[in-house]
Amino acid sequence: MSKRLDTAGATVAPPPPRPVSPTEDPPRRRRFLRPGGPPQDRIGYLFLTPWFIGMAAFTIGPILGSLYLSFTEYTLLKPPEWLGLDNYREMLEDPRLHKSLLVTFLYVFVSVPIQLILALGLALLLNRGVRGLAFYRSVYYLPSLLAGSVSIAILWRQIFGQEGLVNQLLAFFGVEGVSWVAHPDFALGTLVLLNAWTFGAPMVIFLAGLRQIPVSYYEAAQVDGAGTVNRFFHITLPMLTPIIFFNVVLQMIGAFQSFTQAFVISGGRGGPSDATLLYTLYLYERGFGSFDMGYASAMAWILLALIAALTGLNFLFAKRWVFYGN
């Protein structure tokens, strides 16, 4: 295979353009039409050349590099120094790392279910031929586009601050609020709410899934006298399980990688008292705050292992509850 790759690398320059004239000799034309044969290696690798270079330079190289660095001490200033498993051993005894894992798990396992239940609920409300569907869908989807931005993180910090919008509204009811973003018990909750606010994206996927369920199923159930509740539990929900599964996997992977919001809202430190120290924040702090590149690489590999393990578990459990039709 490496030989093939070399050939691809050597043919960066495009081949001489083929004349389009219909008078071209027949055997050449037939090459394209020959079924099954592999006459398209050269052109295939030519089209993939940018992808090959990018894959080697920015994905495979860095993956191997980060694996190597994870066994070293490296601060950019002098060459990496081999440490063996020391970084991983240090992780076992690093209280902030443990805290960041706890915060991340809490964040993922609370915010993703809330987000997906909202997404499913609204999708069900919108599904039944509601007038103005496109309008509602856009309104609910908009936050998903904006939520990743620094602007929204700034807004959130104000809304849940001491004198923020939430406390102003609470004051109407005579309740005096605290600064939610600065309170160790509530700060993570504001991030969970921010993630829940982005239910529009999975909702759009649910809507597409709901549209795939044949209407005839509902009609048959109605003839048999099944009520709304029965139809939901015996038709909609089972038919939708593949989409639910898909959303769970995707949103969990995404939530594990959240960074911007926690970083901006906590002023880059994951505070108060590490209450919003997501794993990625701690990784950033070690890697780019103190340029502890070896330790940060080890952390990255543990993150990858965690995401892979959880995705694997998801697929394992999927056999029990995901329904793939007959």
Partner 1 sequence: MATEIRGGRSRRLSKHALLIICGVVMLYPLLWMVSSSAKPTETIFRDPSIWPTELDLGNYVDGWTALEYPFHHYLINSAVIAILAVVGNLVSCSLAAYAFARLEFRGRKIFFAMMLATLMLPIHVLIVPQYVLFAQLDWINTNLPLVVPKFLAHDAFFVFLMVQFIRGLPKELDEAARIDGCGHIRIYWRIVMPLSIPALATSAVFTFIWTWNDFFSQLIFLTDPELWTMPVALRSFMDGQGETAWGQLFAMSIVGLAPIFGFFLAGQRYLTQGIATTGFR
Q: What is the footprint of partner 1 within residues 53-92 (CB under 8 A)?
A: 53-55, 57-59, 61-63, 65-66, 69, 74, 76
Tell me the number of residues near partner 1 by CB under 8 A: 114
Beta bridge partners of residue 82, listed in sequence order: 72
Secondary structure letter of residue 176 according to DSSP = P
Reduced to 3 states (helix: H, G, I; strand: E, B; else coil), residue 164 is coil
CB of 109 to partner 1, least distance (A): 18
The site map against partner 1 for 12-31 (x = CB under 8 A) is: --x--xxxxxx-x---xx--
Among 10, 12, 51, 117, binds partner 1 (CB under 8 A): 51
Q: Which of 201, 244, 275, 277 is close enough to bind partner 1 by CB under 8 A?
A: 201
For position 290 contacting partner 1 by CB under 8 A, the verdict is no
Tokens representing residue 319 in the block: 């056999």
What are the CA-CA distances from residue 94 to residues 98, 198, 275, 282, 299 (Å)?
6, 33, 16, 11, 11
- CA dist 193 and 268 (Å) reads 19
CA distances from residue 77 to 80, 108, 292 in whole angstroms, order as listed = 9, 36, 11
130 binds partner 1 (CB under 8 A): yes
In the complex with partner 1, the residue whose CB is nearer, 227 or 325, is 227
- Write out the two tokens for 10: 């050597």
Q: 10 Å Cβ neighbour count for 147?
A: 20
- Residue 311 touches partner 1, criterion: CB under 8 A: yes
Name every residue whose Cβ is closer than 8 Å to that of residue 234 and which is 6 or more positions away in sequence.
221, 226
> Is 186 an interacting residue with respect to partner 1 (CB under 8 A)?
no
Question: Does residue 304 interact with partner 1 by CB under 8 A?
Answer: yes
Please state, in angstroms and rounded to a whole number, the distance separating the CA atoms of residues 139 and 114: 19
Q: Does 44 bind partner 1 (CB under 8 A)?
A: yes
**Residue 185: CB minimum distance to partner 1, A:** 21
Name which of 241 and 311 has its Cβ closer to partner 1.
Answer: 311
- CA–CA distance, 245 with 178 (Å, rounded to integer): 38
Binding to partner 1 by residue 111, rule CB under 8 A? no
Of 311, 302, 307, 312, the C-alpha closest to 67 is 302
- Taking the C-alpha atoms of residue 99 and residue 80, their distance in angstroms, rounded to an integer, is 28
| 297 lies in the site for partner 1, by CB under 8 A | yes
Q: Which stretch binds partner 1 (CB under 8 A): 93-101, 109-117, 277-285, 316-324?
A: 277-285
The span of 98-106, 109-117, 165-173, 314-322 binding partner 1 (CB under 8 A) equals: 165-173
* Contact flag: residue 313 with partner 1 (CB under 8 A): no
Sites for partner 1 among residues 252-271 (CB under 8 A): 253, 256-257, 259-260, 263-264, 267-268
Note whether 119 and 203 are within 8 A (CB). yes
Three-state SS annotation for 274-303: CCCCCHHHHHHHHHHHCCCHHHHHHHHHHH
Omega within 30 of 0 (cis) for the link into 272: yes
**CB of 47: closest distance to partner 1 in angstroms?**
4
| Stretch 234-253 residues interacting with partner 1 (CB under 8 A) | 246, 250, 253
Tell me how far, at minimum, the Cβ of 148 lies from partner 1, in Å: 5
Q: Does 307 bind partner 1 (CB under 8 A)?
A: yes
Residue 161 engages partner 1 in binding (rule: CB under 8 A)? yes
| Residue 10 near partner 1 by CB under 8 A | no
Interaction between residue 150 and partner 1 (CB under 8 A): yes
Q: Which residue type is seen at 163? A: E
